[in-house]
């Protein structure tokens, strides 16, 4: 068991650091190009491995808040990747069973996270914030799936951006909470949200302006 835990730990560290350094690369290269798609995939798989190994470690060590953060990161990573399949939703494309199952499970998990944060003694602000963000994300996604007619133009791209940037925020938050001991709780858990959410909003407004999708990014979905 000790050998397994050590392997799990180093795999988690390797995947986490890969994701930390790859995500900015995917943001700065030309959107829709081969490099963006490559580093986006590397980031997705890095988050998948980092989140899965975090679940194993948190479960075996009874670390509830890290367990929930790992789930949060995994959900948002798959949400961002899956959003590339949602171009044309409501027209030629309809939600598939995977979409319904994943968003329903996500809503249940995040509602539980929110409840855990609100009912903890002392009050757990970090979990309440993460749970609330997760609930809002999944409720908005469910409403989109149930909405008659086509999605608003560029909604798939907004989801793509929010999913991947959100997964990055969750991963940095978990790293900060466990490793940056000089930052007190709950700021050590929440500072990535305060720093990166404004960037997320800027990215959405820049690449999906009110006039429609920035055309340089259409190839992202078409090439996936």
The number of folded domains in the chain is 1
- Give the model's pLDDT for residue 73: 86
pTM: 0.84
From residue 47, alpha-carbon distances to 33, 41, 95, 224 in Å are 21, 10, 24, 19
Summary mean pLDDT of the chain: 84
Q: Average pLDDT of 167-182?
A: 86
Q: Give Cα 29 to chain centroid, integer Å.
A: 20
Contacts of 75 (CB under 8 A, 6+ apart): 102, 106, 109, 110, 134
- Give the model's pLDDT for residue 139: 93
Is the pLDDT at 1 greater than 80, yes or no? Answer: no
Q: Pick the residue with more confidence: 187 or 218?
A: 187
Q: Average pLDDT of 133-140?
A: 89
pLDDT digits (tens, 9 = 90+) for 79-89: 999 988 888 77
- Give the model's pLDDT for residue 90: 67
**What residue numbers bound the domain in which 192 lies?**
2-223
Is the pLDDT at 101 greater than 90, yes or no? Answer: yes
pLDDT band of residue 221 (cuts 50, 70, 90) is very low
Q: Average pLDDT of 202-215?
A: 72
pLDDT digits (tens, 9 = 90+) for 19-74: 888 988 888 887 778 888 888 899 999 999 988 988 888 888 777 777 877 888 88
From the number of C-beta atoms within 10 Å of its C-beta (0-12, 13-18, 19+), residue 219 rates as: middle
pLDDT band of residue 100 (cuts 50, 70, 90) is very high
Measured CA to CA, the distance from residue 175 to residue 180 in angstroms comes to 7
């Amino acid at each position: 068991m000790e050998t397994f835990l050590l392997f799990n730990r180093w795999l988690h560290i390797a995947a986490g650091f890969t994701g930390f350094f790859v995500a900015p690369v995917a943001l700065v290269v030309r959107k829709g190009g081969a490099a963006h798609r490559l580093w986006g995939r590397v980031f997705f798989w890095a988050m998948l491995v980092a989140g899965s190994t975090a679940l194993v470690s948190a479960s075996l060590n009874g670390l509830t808040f890290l367990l929930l953060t790992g789930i949060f990161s995994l959900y948002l990573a798959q949400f961002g990747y899956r959003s590339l399949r949602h171009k044309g939703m409501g027209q030629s494309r309809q939600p598939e069973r995977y979409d319904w199952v994943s968003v329903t499970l996500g809503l249940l998990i995040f509602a539980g996270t929110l409840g855990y944060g609100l009912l903890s003694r002392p009050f757990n602000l970090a979990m309440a914030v993460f749970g609330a963000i997760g609930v809002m994300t999944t409720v908005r996604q469910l409403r989109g799936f149930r909405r008659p007619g086509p999605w608003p133009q560029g909604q798939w791209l907004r989801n793509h951006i929010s999913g991947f940037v959100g997964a990055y925020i969750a991963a940095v938050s978990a790293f900060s909470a466990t490793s940056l001991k000089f930052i007190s709780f709950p700021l050590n858990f929440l500072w990535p949200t305060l720093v990166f959410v404004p960037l997320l909003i800027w990215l959405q407004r820049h690449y999906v302006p009110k006039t429609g999708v920035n055309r340089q990014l259409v190839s992202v979905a078409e090439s996936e």
